[in-house]
A = this chain, B = another copy of it.
Amino acid sequence: MQVDTPVRERVMRAAISLFAAKGFGATSIREIADAAGVTKGGVYHYFESKDDLLFEVYTRMLRMQTSRMRTMADDDSLPLPQRLHAIVADVVETSIANLEEAVVFFQSVHLLAADRQDQVRAERRAYQDRVRDLVAEGQATGVFRTDVPADLIVNYHLGAIHRLGSWYRADGPLTAEQVGTHFADLMLASLRP
């Protein structure tokens, strides 16, 4: 992994903003270069291909969110429901803090090169599986309802979080923290036995 130079980072930021605003397919390298204040050749100096730029969005987001989730999931000092609550609130907050990345994330996976798509989906799946295990554990210990499959529960609630980018606005009435708390509250409430 290359070290981030200021220029490289500027290109990356420009790409993310444009991908979020116009979509990956509708954004040209030319536009990214212009927005970053370099030439097309300059972009290719730091990234091998347009696909590389997109892939890095996924790498960054996944690594960060997965790492935070795992830390919290493995923290036995809290009872399981509180742990789940904290995890959901946290992923909401980091998604909002990186809203453009989040928008790109759930809008453009299918445009990644096939092998990278597999890789991203696998990591995504691992994330989901870990959360599913927490839910299943709660069902086994009787703190969560058991009439709904754990997989569906996770798909349901993570799905809700994945749509954040389509409606949340920084200048709206709710802070990231408030949304995080509300989301976690709704999830936990829905799981009461």
Closest 6 CB pairs of A and B: A159-B163, A25-B25, A190-B190, A160-B160, A159-B160, A186-B190
Given A107-B110, A149-B174; 5 other pairs, CB 8 A cutoff: A26-B110, A147-B185, A159-B164, A160-B160, A192-B192
- The main secondary structure of chain A at its interface with chain B is helix
Q: Does B179 contact A152, Cβ atoms closer than 8 Å? A: yes
Which A residues have a C-beta under 8 Å from some C-beta of B? 22-26, 107, 110-111, 145, 147-149, 152-153, 155-164, 166-167, 173-174, 179, 182-183, 185-187, 189-192
Of listed A160, A173, A174, residue having the most chain B CB within 10 A: A160
Measured CA separation A26–B24 after assembly (Å): 11
The residues of B that contact A182 with a CB separation of less than 8 Å are 148-149, 152, 156
The residues of B that contact A148 with a CB separation of less than 8 Å are 182, 185-186
Contact of A189 among B23, B179, B189 (CB under 8 A): B189
Contact of A190 among B26, B149, B158, B189 (CB under 8 A): B189
Q: How far is the CB of A187 from chain B (nearest CB, A)?
A: 7
Q: With A111-B23, A148-B182 given, is the CB distance from A160 to B156 under 8 Å?
A: yes
Q: How far is the CB of A183 from chain B (nearest CB, A)?
A: 6
Q: With A159-B163, A162-B159, A166-B159 given, is the CB distance from A186 to B110 under 8 Å?
A: no
A-B contact list, 29 entries, CB within 8 Å: A22-B110, A23-B25, A23-B110, A24-B25, A25-B26, A26-B110, A26-B111, A107-B107, A107-B110, A145-B189, A148-B182, A148-B185, A148-B186, A149-B174, A152-B174, A152-B182, A153-B186, A155-B160, A156-B160, A156-B183, A159-B160, A159-B164, A159-B166, A159-B167, A160-B163, A189-B189, A189-B191, A189-B192, A192-B192
